[in-house]
Amino acid sequence: MASDLVIEAEGLRKSYRRTVALDGVDLHVKRGEVFSLLGPNGAGKTTTVEILEGYRRRDGGHARVLGEDPERAGASWRARRGVVLQSCDDVVELTVSECVRHFARFYPRPADPGEVIERVGLSEKAGSRIRSLSGGQRRRLDVALGIVGQPEIVFLDEPTTGFDPEARRQFWDVVRGLARGGTSILLTTHYLDEAEALADRVAVVNHGRVVETAPPADLGGRREAPATVSWSGPRGRQSEQTHQPTALVKKLEESFGGEVPDLTVARPTLEDVYLKMIGYSAKGEQK
C-alpha cells in the first residue's frame, strides 16, 4: 500500500439477500484528508463505512485501512481508528466527564479527557449526567468518545443530523481542528454545505458505485461550467449563461449607465451538480 493512503478500497461488493448494496466501490483516502461520501438514501454509504470500520464483512473486493485488512485487523489497529457510536446509551447515569474518562482507559495513548470535552463544546456539561443531555449534546459526546483515543482516522457517519445550525458550525470547527492536527476523516453527510465546508475531496455514491471523486469545487465540471448572469431589465427578470461573466457585466453596466438592477452572477452549486449526478431532474424524477 502506498504509505500516504489511509484507506484503499477497490471493487468492494456487498449484497443483503437480493439487494446489491455495493456493486464495486473504489475509494482512496490520503493521510490527513477530510474525505466525504455523498449519496442518496440507500446508496451504500453506511455499508461502505462499516466495512472499512471492520464491523461488516464484504463479499468481494480489496480493502486496506491504515495498512491492514479491516476484516482481520486486531485490537491495536482498532485503537488507531475512531468510530462514533451511540456508546454511552447504557451508562446514562454517568456524568459526561466520567464517561469520557471511562472510554479513555481503553486506548494506549488517550487524549486528556477534559481537553476532548472542551473540543466538542461540552465543558459546561462535564459534570452533568448523560441522561440529562439533549440529542445534539449526546451526539457531541459520541464524537468525544470517537476521538478520545487520538485515532489516526475518524469515521463520521452523518455526524450532525439533528444539530441546530450553531451546533453544526461548532462541530465543523471540531472537524477542522482534527484535520489540522493531521487526523484523516471519512465523513458521510446529506448536507452538501457540510461537505463543501469540510471536505478536501468528495465521492458521490449511487446504486452501490462511486460516480465521481473530486474536490467539491471541481465536482461535475463545476469549475468549467458557464456562469448564469441575471438582472432586472425593462422586460423583467433576465438571465444569460456565459463563460465570460465579467465581460457581460461590463456590457450591462454600460447599457444601464451604471448600477445593474438586482445583478447576480451564479455558478452551479454543489447541490446542482450532485442532483444531476444522481439522476434527479427538475421534474423530480429519478432516471
For ligand ATP, which is the closer residue by CB, 15 or 170? 15
For ligand ATP, which is the closer residue by CB, 47 or 213? 47
Binds ligand ATP (CB under 6 A): choice among 34, 39, 64, 138: 39
- Grid cell, residue 11, equals 471493487
For ligand ATP, which is the closer residue by CB, 37 or 141? 37
The reply on whether position 21 binds ligand ATP by CB under 6 A is yes
Give the binding-site size for ligand ATP (rule: CB under 6 A). Answer: 11
What is the CB-side half-sphere exposure of residue 247 using CA atoms within 13 A? 4
What is the CB-side half-sphere exposure of residue 270 using CA atoms within 13 A? 22
Tell me the backbone φ, ψ of residue 264, rounded to 5 degrees: -135, 145
For ligand ATP, which is the closer residue by CB, 3 or 41? 41
The reply on whether position 161 binds ligand ATP by CB under 6 A is no
Distances (CA, A) of 284 to 192, 273, 287: 18, 15, 10
Tell me the backbone φ, ψ of residue 113, rounded to 5 degrees: -55, -40
For ligand ATP, which is the closer residue by CB, 51 or 117? 51
Q: How far is the CB of 186 from ligand ATP (least distance, A)?
A: 13
Q: What does the alpha-carbon distance between residue 99 and residue 69 come to, in Å, rounded to a whole number?
A: 30
Q: How far is the CB of 161 from ligand ATP (least distance, A)?
A: 10
Q: Are 121 and 177 in contact (CB under 8 A)?
A: no
For ligand ATP, which is the closer residue by CB, 122 or 194? 194
- Grid cell, residue 234, equals 425593462
Q: How far is the CB of 97 from ligand ATP (least distance, A)?
A: 32
The reply on whether position 16 binds ligand ATP by CB under 6 A is yes
Which residue, 161, 159, 132, 137, is CA-closest to 146? 159
- Stretch binding ligand ATP (CB under 6 A), from 13-21, 96-104, 119-127, 134-142: 13-21
Which residues in the 42-61 window bind ligand ATP by CB under 6 A?
Answer: 42-47
Binds ligand ATP (CB under 6 A): choice among 2, 3, 18, 41: 41
Binds ligand ATP (CB under 6 A): choice among 1, 4, 10, 19: 19
The reply on whether position 286 binds ligand ATP by CB under 6 A is no
Please state, as a whole number, how many other Cβ atoms lie within 10 Å of the Cβ of residue 108. 10
Q: How far is the CB of 76 from ligand ATP (least distance, A)?
A: 28
Tell me the backbone φ, ψ of residue 60, rounded to 5 degrees: -165, 170
Q: Which residues contact 46 (CB under 8 A, 6 or more apart)?
A: 157, 188
Three-state SS at 203: strand
Binding-site ranges for ligand ATP (CB under 6 A): 16, 19, 21, 39, 41-47
